[in-house]
Structure 1
Amino acid sequence: MASSRATGTAIMLQTKHRSWIYCLIVLVHLTSLPVLAKPDSLKEVTDGNWEEILTGEWMIEFYAPWCPACQQLQPVWKEFADWGEDMGVNIAKVDVTEQPGLSGRFIITSLPTIYHCKDGVFRKYQGARTKDDFLTFIHDQKWKAVEPVSSWFGPSSFLMNSMSALFKLSMFIRRCHNYMTEQLGIPVWGSYVIFGLATLFSGLALGLLLVFIADFVFPSRRFSSPDYYQKKQTMEQARLIQQQEEEHEADGEEDDDEDEEEEDRDRDEVWRRRRGSPEGRPEPKGQGFSDEALRKRVLRNREEEEEDT
């Protein structure tokens, strides 16, 4: 009887011991499971997903990791982001060193810069940078008193798209420069020479392309006309004919001048032969005429002879 009780007690002890072991194993298993972290309420905006901010209400911070003022603002901004879901506003941040396109799209000239966006309308935040001030700005809708950014300078405008592409290009050039100088060992001046030549040839190619496009879109009227070459040939022939006529007229004027000179010489010769009497004998002294009178007399006699013939 006593042995059966001892056996039952031993079984009970073993059962309790096993249950404790099971509980300990379950506890260890549960504590070893990874704790499910609360989803981060602070969103990251990049060049790939920035169009999401065009819908809904957003508060966006532009920062750089090396900026001391940005580093001071980060804890406050994270606390403000925890209230974002309750207030129905999306809290986001943009690292301008990693997203140069967004830096150019929003023309970020100082850090940190904060923008408020409501359904695609952007306003620059100029207030104090504390959590309470941020909450009041959203809750009391103080953003309505801030003048919105002009549509010309909006992030989705053509101008800002061009600025974004320019900033991306500048960052690409900088990375290429760093790669050539640090990885390839090319001197700094050599990198500058390479970029200078690349800029020169790309400018020439772009200019040539623009000339071709302009000539294709707005062709010259004279070259586009099918009768252009025929008209050109006709005009050339007319010009040659006119030139020949002018040369003939010049030759005719020279011939007329020569004829007049020859007639003058003949008249002078006749005047010399007939200076004396009409029969060709010298006139007596005291009856001579002046040279002008004799010239007129000779001319009159010649005209009479011509009329007779």
Structure 2
Amino acid sequence: MAISLLALTRILLLLPLVNLSASKQGQLIELDEDSWHQLLEGEWMVEFFAPWCPACKVLGPIWKDFSQWSNDLGVKIAHVDLTVNPGLSGRFMVTALPTIYHVKDGVFRQYRGTRDKESFISFVEEKKWQGVEPVSAWKAPQSIQMSMVAQFFKLSMAVRGLHTTLVDNYGIPYWGSYILFALATIVLGALLGLLIVFIIDAVFPPKPLAAPAQAKGDDLAKGDTGGAESGTKSDEDEDLVDESPAEKSESSKEEEEVEDAKKSEEEKDTAGEVRRRNVPSSEEATAD
């Protein structure tokens, strides 16, 4: 009886120590599309993986052991399943699996060292991340452009899911699904183009044309030309109702030139006759 009481007493004394050691161990945090913003505060080590990736399967147990040191290192350790959160693969520009980032107050640095627990611990404890160049501002996950990239990735996965549903559940052949997506792309592109045109017209309306002022100037020019040529119109010009002012002026100039030529010829003929009258003939000159 005394031995059992002593054993029970030891168990009760060891329980707080067990709870204390359990509390000191960290936990592996799972992030998704809604909770990734937690990375922007504090210090983090985050892994991006996919269940089908062989290298990710090897790293999984190592990363879980590393997460138990999170409280001792003062860093939070997380992982992201990209098959469930495809938008984050675009937001973080994940081009290879697994991909590991170190985050400090919203500044992201990609870890490219050895993938073992000791290397992870020394990277954080010795602050080796300070020697790694951070991700540029325009590629930062919290930037507007990367948010747009994330939406495109989510859209692509939605289209892929729809394609799988059409083929598997509705029995549509692959080429039929592709034709449907092509037609939908054309229709959506046309609607988007019209929307852009309407927005541009609303923001930058076209300038009004100066047609009335130009027409008034043309009328005045026609009136002046008609007054100048009223005295020199011929019968043929009056018949040409559709003739333009420029053509009328050219025809009147031609008529004036013809009349001037006739007058000059008549003057030459008159001058010749006068000379013949004034000059004596050869017979009269001999007689004298």
TM-score interval (norm. to shorter): 0.7 to 0.9
Equivalent residue, structure 2, for 1:23: none
Equivalents in 1 of 2:221, 2:197: separation in Å?
33
Equivalent residue, structure 2, for 1:8: none
- 3-state secondary structure, aligned to 1:221: coil
Aligned AA for 1:233?
Answer: A
Alignment size in residue pairs:
245
Equivalent residue, structure 2, for 1:253: 253
Equivalent residue, structure 1, for 2:76: 90
Contact 1:277 1:283 in 2 (8 A): no
2:104 paired with 1:118: yes
Among 148, 159, 163, which residue is 1:173 paired with? Answer: 159
TM-score by length of 2: 0.74
Equivalent residue, structure 1, for 2:169: 183
Equivalents in 2 of 1:239, 1:54: separation in Å?
74
1:48-97 CA-partner distances (Å, limit 9, x unpaired): 11111111111110111111000001011111112213332211111111
Equivalent residue, structure 2, for 1:230: 212
User: Is the alpha carbon distance of 1:169 and 1:239 closer, same or farther for their aligned partners in structure 2, counting shifts above 3 Å?
Assistant: farther
- 3-state secondary structure, aligned to 1:175: helix
Equivalents in 1 of 2:90, 2:283: separation in Å?
119
Residue identity (%): 42
TM-score by length of 1: 0.69
Shift in Å, 1:194: 1.6
- 3-state secondary structure, aligned to 2:33: coil
User: Is the alpha carbon distance of 1:191 and 1:232 closer, same or farther for their aligned partners in structure 2, counting shifts above 3 Å?
Assistant: farther
2:63 paired with 1:63: no
Contact 1:43 1:93 in 2 (8 A): yes
> Which consecutive residues of structure 2, in runs of 5 or more, have no partner in the other structure?
1-21, 226-243
1:183-215 CA-partner distances (Å, limit 9, x unpaired): 122221122222222222222222222222222
1:8-35 CA-partner distances (Å, limit 9, x unpaired): xxxxxxxxxxxxxxxxxxxxxxxxxxxx
* Larger of the two Rg values belongs to structure: 1
Equivalents in 2 of 1:242, 1:197: separation in Å?
62
Among 175, 182, 188, which residue is 1:202 paired with? Answer: 188
Shift in Å, 1:123: 0.6
User: Is the alpha carbon distance of 1:241 and 1:89 closer, same or farther for their aligned partners in structure 2, counting shifts above 3 Å?
Assistant: farther
Shift in Å, 1:219: 2.3
Aligned AA for 2:212?
Answer: Q
- Give the CA RMSD over aligned residues: 3.0
> Which consecutive residues of structure 1, in runs of 5 or more, have no partner in the other structure?
1-36, 288-309
Equivalent residue, structure 2, for 1:136: 122
